[in-house]
Amino acid sequence: MLDKLPKLEVAQPVRDLTDWIKEKFEFIFNPIKDDFGPFLEKLSEEWLAAIPAWLFILIVAVLAFFVSGKKFGFAIFSVLGLVFIYNQGQWVELMFTFVLVIAASFLAIIIGIPIGILMSKSKVIQSILTPVLDFMQTMPAFVYLIPTAAFFAIGMPPGVFAALIFAAPPTIRLTNLGIRQVSKELVEASEAFGSTGLQKLIKVELPMAKSTIMAGINQTVMLSLSMVVVASMIGAPGLGREVIRALQRADVGAGFVAGLGIVILAIIIDRFTQYMNKGKA
């Protein structure tokens, strides 16, 4: 009975669409592939990796000390964790992962905050975007790798863009939420004194929403880290690739070491963004 139903064509149209996008937007994809990719690689491999590891660790430790409100715990953890990664010969991999995370999060944030603001200002935009965001977040992460790999070949750019798509939703959502949560009286006060829409946004709504937005940014950074690791499946370099290699060789030991490196990086990044939020609130 069910077998009589002809198969709906879904895969083919998506395939066609991808090809179409790839062709039409080549002028965007090619420069990203040819310039942005090599730039990120150069940044990780030649510039960041050129900083002596001890100096890099020292800088992180000092920042950690101050950002955590002049406590030693976090700084000591950062030093031990980074020394361990260096000791295991994963330093360059760490740099790759670090650059990928920063690039993806940075893009996700500068795209996500304006979208979140638009969403908070318009019920229509909100009702269109909410299901889209739900969809983006429930899709298994590595599905994004397929089209981005199609657009950008392999290497760092598809990793960055897959992570960007996967990681932007929390920043968008929480920017929207943060602005909508600003108390009605404060919005009224700002309007009653004759603020323009932009003044209201900059002088009242964004400062009031700041800690909510920062919570979104924190999530975005963590999600882009997880995506960057997954992106190793399409050849993005870094700690994730070490895990995949270990997987292919069924080398539990090497996999454990690389995995531990990712966890250490995750904790350091998470604490940094959280402390930055608390510190200024």
Give contact residues for other proteins (rule: CB under 8 A): 183, 185-186, 188-196, 199, 203-204, 207-208
- CB 207 to other proteins: min, Å: 5
Q: Which is nearer to other proteins, 13 or 279 (CB)?
A: 279
Cα distance from N-terminal residue to C-terminal residue, the chain = 63
- CB 272 to other proteins: min, Å: 22
Give the Cα separation of 274 and 164 in Å (integer): 20
Q: Which is nearer to other proteins, 28 or 202 (CB)?
A: 202
Quickly list DSSP for 23-89: HHTHHHHHHIIIIIHHHHHHIIIIIITTS-HHHHHHHHHHHHHHHTTS-HHHHHHHHHHHHHHHHTT
Q: Give CA separation, 196 vs 113, 124, 191, 206, in Å.
A: 20, 22, 7, 14
- CB 200 to other proteins: min, Å: 9
Q: Which is nearer to other proteins, 2 or 124 (CB)?
A: 124
Q: Which is nearer to other proteins, 191 or 251 (CB)?
A: 191
- CB 23 to other proteins: min, Å: 45
Q: Which is nearer to other proteins, 27 or 193 (CB)?
A: 193
Give the Cα separation of 178 and 77 in Å (integer): 32
167 CB-near residues (< 8 Å, 6+ apart): 104, 105, 108, 219, 220, 221, 223, 224, 227
- CB 168 to other proteins: min, Å: 26
- CB 190 to other proteins: min, Å: 8
Give the Cα separation of 163 and 105 in Å (integer): 8
Q: Which is nearer to other proteins, 19 or 188 (CB)?
A: 188
